[in-house]
Amino acid sequence: MSADLRSTGGRTVLCAADDVPPGRMLRVVTGDAGPLLVSNVNGTIHVTDDTCTHAEASLSEGDLEADRVVCPVHWAEFDLATGKALCFPASRPLAVYRAVVEDGMVVAFLARRSA
């Protein structure tokens, strides 16, 4: 999917909230932050980097299991709220970005929140 990305004052519209129903993930490519992963965990939207810190794989091609994403290459797991690497072989966390839903759109604040 190609999203209409609009950035204003550090805020970037990534996609429609309906594009990411509960239990689903979506890869969104931005010019500023690179590929991002938008995940919906029981109605809570999380935005992280989409690239695994271990294998350089797209996490959107992996699995969403509860509140974590599992890399499709070597099964590294990351907490979507904190970015923390939860198991070997990943040891470095994902960058996490603050996100909200406004007027039915997922908006991310692309200043890095944690890593």
Other CB atoms within a 10 A radius of the CB of residue 48 amount to 28
Query: Which residues in 33-43 are b (16+ Cβ under 10 Å) and which e?
Result: beebbbbbbee
**Tens of pLDDT along 72-114?**
999 999 999 999 999 999 999 999 999 999 999 999 998 755 5
Two tokens, residue 17? 């909230």
d(CA 38, CA 15): 9
d(CA 43, CA 21): 8
Domain boundaries, the chain: 6-114
**Tens of pLDDT along 25-79?**
999 998 767 899 999 999 999 999 999 999 989 999 999 999 999 999 999 999 9
Query: Nearest Cα to 115, choosing from 32, 45, 51?
Result: 51
pTM score of the predicted model: 0.88
What is the fold, at CATH topology level, of the domain defined by 6-114? Rieske Iron-sulfur Protein (2.102.10)
Query: Nearest Cα to 26, choosing from 53, 7, 52, 45?
Result: 45
